[in-house]
Structure formats: structure tokens, C-alpha cells
Amino acid sequence: MKTVAFDITPLLEKNWGGVSWYSFYLSRGLVDYAARGNARVVLFYNQRKLLPDKIAALLKKWRLAPNVYVAGYRIPNKFLNLSMRFLKFPHMDELISLKHGLSFPRMRESKQEVKKNPDQIPAFAGMTKSADYFLIPNLSFITLSKDTPYVAVCHDLSCEIFPEFFTMRQRLWHRLINPRRFYQNAHRVIAVSENTKQDLVDLYAIDPKRITISYPGIDRALFYPQKDMRDAREKYGLPENFILSVGTLEPRKNYETLLEAFDMLCGSEVHLLIVGSEGWKFDRIYRFWNRMKRKSQVRFLFNVTREDLPALYSAARLFIYPSFYEGFGFPPLEAAACGAPVIVSHGSSLPEIMGDAALYVDPFNIADLARA
């Protein structure tokens, strides 16, 4: 039975974005796959602080599933990352094996066994390994033993294409992690869209034969047209007629252009609701909002639960997503699944993902956005 080790670090983020939700659904799928006897799955993470209650409860539940193992560490993240980056130590596969005893009988432990089975993935002499391969859902400093392969997921290369949308600290982190080397050294790369695959080929010279496109999905048990939105309207004080946008408040999402377009054309009967958490340079968006003529018709909602999002999508007059760049982009797909008319940027992966289910605008053209 094959063993897959999966990095669940994105689940530890305070505010979940697309990568965290992608990792959650993939984790859940792997747990189900293992429970049916198809593989062993090792879910591993490193977190100095205590786990959030909801994550601790989730891992406790998953740990009870057949063939599922959880390996957690409390090493200071900065220390671990710097050690892996510059010392190439510790090897995560060996760490899991030594601390948790998660090495399995099918693994070879000597050079003699390697010679007998040359078609198998080799292991170090005298050292067991904890997985046949590692699945890494986002950029990582992770180091592994020489012969332990990993599959890396690439969501986008936004830091390469739009570095101005990232803080100096984020750019330094990307430089240290060296995404080009991370993806070039991967056994295989999973791209979440054809657009992301092409970026990998063009910018990092990754062999296209080593890249597999695997589109993420949305939870259709949650995102579908809602018939009764009364509870959501009352809970969030929703206006009768509103335009909706969902995403982190940061420059890459292009909210300033959206606000300017709204201020140009929308009448007094239409409102704009922006749902999301505060990101980098969110204060710049607020300053622009404060100068608007129709400021009173714009609301920012930060406390919307995921369970309530379908009601907001369904109640919206239309959904708009003017982002400059997306590797995939979940919100437009969720909005369309809930029956909302969708307007998105004509660029990056969005036309590929939305197809005929959206109207397209130039994200750099305020007049184009206003006309839509």
C-alpha cells in the first residue's frame, strides 16, 4: 500500500483564502481515499502555538479514520524554515519516521534491498522513510531525503508577474524560498489552471510534460441557488438591490477601480457590498472609499461565515470580480453556482475558468468596468 504525506500547514492560517480551502478539501479527499483502503495518508504540520480549536477537533476526527496518521511538531517556524533553507536539515520524511515511528514494512532499509528492487524508490542504508512521496499544496521551505520525491501544487506566480502587489517582507520570503528551484526539483507539478501551467513554462522553464493540470472544484453541497435569503438579509442588514464582490482587501484585487466605476455610474438605488478580510494596504482602499460621492452606498463586511456566503451570492443583483491576476479564482465560480450573474476580469486564468458563464471587462479600464 502506498503512503502519501500531505502538508496541512495552510489549514493553520488565521483567515482562510483559496489555498487554505483547497488544502482542506484535498485533505478531506485523501482521508476518505485512505479510509477505503486505497493508501496510507500522513497529515503533517508544524505550529509552535496551540492549534485552533476547530483544527484540533478536525485532526482528532481524521486521526480516527483507518490508514490515516497525523504528525505534528512545535518547532519555531522561523528557526525551522531557516534551518531547512540554509542547512538543508531536518529532512521532513526522516523527522516523521523518527519521532512518530511512521515507517512502514514495505520500505527498504538497506542498499542490498535497493539492488534487488531497482525499480523501487530507494531509501538510505539503515534509514526508514515515512512515505512514498510528499504532496506539498503551496510554496514551502521543506527539505526531504535525497531520494524522497515530492509533488508540488502551483496556484499562481503572482509574485513574479505583479511584485508591486506584495510587501517587501513577502518578496523577501519568495526570494528565500526560491519558487523556481522548488518547482524545478519537484517530481511533478500540479497546476490549478492552464494559465498557471503556461506561467510555469514561460517564467521557470519547467518541462510541460512534468506539469499536470488539475482544476480545483467548489463544494456543490454548499454553493447552489438559495431560495430563502431572509435570515441572511436580516443578519447582515442586506439592501434589496446590491452588487457583490468577495476577496481579500489588497491591491491585487483591484477594488479601487471597482469603487471608482461604481461612483461614476451607479444610481442611488444600488449598493455595493465587499466581503473579505483586510489584507496588505487595505487602508489605501479605505482612503479612496472616504473620498467617494456614493460612500454611503458601499459597505465592507468582514464577519460573513462561509455557510452564509451562498445566500449573499444568491441575493446579489450581480457579482463582480475585477482582480488583476488569479491562478484560479474561487469566488466567481461560487457566485455562478449560486445563480448570480458574474462579471470578471478578462485576464490570467479567469476566462479559462468561467468560460461562457461570465461577462468580461478590462481590469485596467475604469470606463469598461463602469459600462458593464
Pairing of the two strands 298-301 and 242-246: unpaired
Average pLDDT over residues 7-27: 95
DSSP, res 65:
S
Q: Across the strands, what pairs with 343?
A: 320, 359
Write the DSSP string, 133-154.
Answer: EEEE-S-------TT--EEEEE
Is residue 218 in a domain? no
237 in the same domain as 196: no
Check which CATH number belongs to the domain holding 328 and give it: 3.40.50.2000
Return the C-alpha cell found at 338. Answer: 449560486
Is residue 308 in a domain? yes
DSSP, res 368:
H
Task: Dump pLDDT digits (tens) for 36-66.
Answer: 999 999 999 999 888 999 999 999 999 999 9
Check which CATH number belongs to the domain holding 198 and give it: 3.40.50
For 125, the 3-state DSSP assignment is coil
Average pLDDT over residues 176-185: 97
pLDDT score recorded for residue 131: 85
For 221, the 3-state DSSP assignment is coil
Is residue 221 in a domain? no
245 in the same domain as 206: no
- Domain of 262, in residue numbers: 230-371
Phi and psi at residue 226, to the nearest 5°? -95, 135
198 in the same domain as 293: no
Residue 70 and residue 43 in contact, taking contact as beta carbons nearer than 8 Å = yes
| Per-residue CA distances from 13 to 6, 8, 134, 238, 371 (Å) | 16, 10, 21, 29, 38
pLDDT score recorded for residue 163: 94
Task: Dump pLDDT digits (tens) for 290-326.
Answer: 999 999 999 999 989 999 999 999 999 999 999 999 9
Between 56-65, 112-121, 205-214, 267-276, the lowest mean confidence (pLDDT) is in 112-121
Last residue of a domain, one of 213, 247, 276: 213
Last residue of a domain, one of 150, 182, 213: 213
pLDDT band per the 50, 70, 90 thresholds, residue 97: confident
pLDDT score recorded for residue 208: 98
> What is the C-alpha separation between 333 and 216, in angstroms, rounded?
11
> What is the C-alpha separation between 142 and 126, in angstroms, rounded?
22
Phi and psi at residue 43, to the nearest 5°? -95, 120
